[in-house]
Amino acid sequence: MTHKESLLRLREGNARFVEDHLDSKLQNSSRRDSLINGQKPYAIILGCADSRVVPELAFDTDLGELFTVRVAGNIANTSSIASLEYAVAHLETKLIVVLGHQSCGAVTAAVSGGDNGNNLNHLLDHITPAIAESSQDASINDVVKKNAELTATDLINKSSIIKNAVETGDVNIIAAYYHLNSGKVEFLN
């Protein structure tokens, strides 16, 4: 499947989710059996840990269809990038979606600033560039979108595996924004 075909499937799945017409049925024992010997996910999602933003539901996918990495603020750190590299290099997945979402708590915390302790400080540092590149009166959701876009660029800058795959046209990276109220995923580029 090309990255264009993958994107189309994500769009179609999200449309079903938005319209309350989920048709994902392949989550039973026979589907599990069919996946024992390997996986072939058609898209990679770098999403937030937020319980309200579940990629497999938002895109109405079956078991084994999405390679999902979730971390608060959908940031590109060493571990999340390494996970994405695995899917690019070994599973030959062609599409990466960086999925930010409305009212993200991690982005809100980063904008608020202050000392949040070692671990959270480390995570929030990855969101700081998006704040720096947003205007003074930018809303949280504006920063969320900027963060998704910069993270998409970061994946290329911080990973030779991903950079090479993008340069050869094998892989495409798209930033996206999830609306909590409608369930709609807005693709940003």
Contacts of residue 49, Cβ cutoff 8 Å, sequence gap at least 6: 70, 71, 72
* Interface with Zn ion, residue 50, by CB under 5 A: yes
User: Which of 42, 97, 47 minimizes the C-alpha distance to 64?
Assistant: 42
First to last CA, the chain: 20
Tokens 């969101």 correspond to 127
From 48-56, 115-123, 134-142, 158-166, span contacting Zn ion (CB under 5 A): 48-56
The binder of Zn ion chosen from 97, 104, 162, 173 (CB under 5 A): 104
The one segment of 58-66, 90-98, 99-107, 130-138 that binds Zn ion by CB under 5 A: 99-107
**Left, alpha or beta for 113 (phi > 0: left; psi -120 to 50: alpha)?**
left
The window from 44-52, 78-86, 165-173, 174-182 that contacts Zn ion (CB under 5 A) reads: 44-52
- In whole angstroms, how close is the CB of 71 to Zn ion at the nearest point? 9
Judged by CB under 5 A, the residue of 7, 10, 43, 48 near Zn ion is 48
Give residues in contact with Zn ion (CB under 5 A): 48, 50, 104, 106
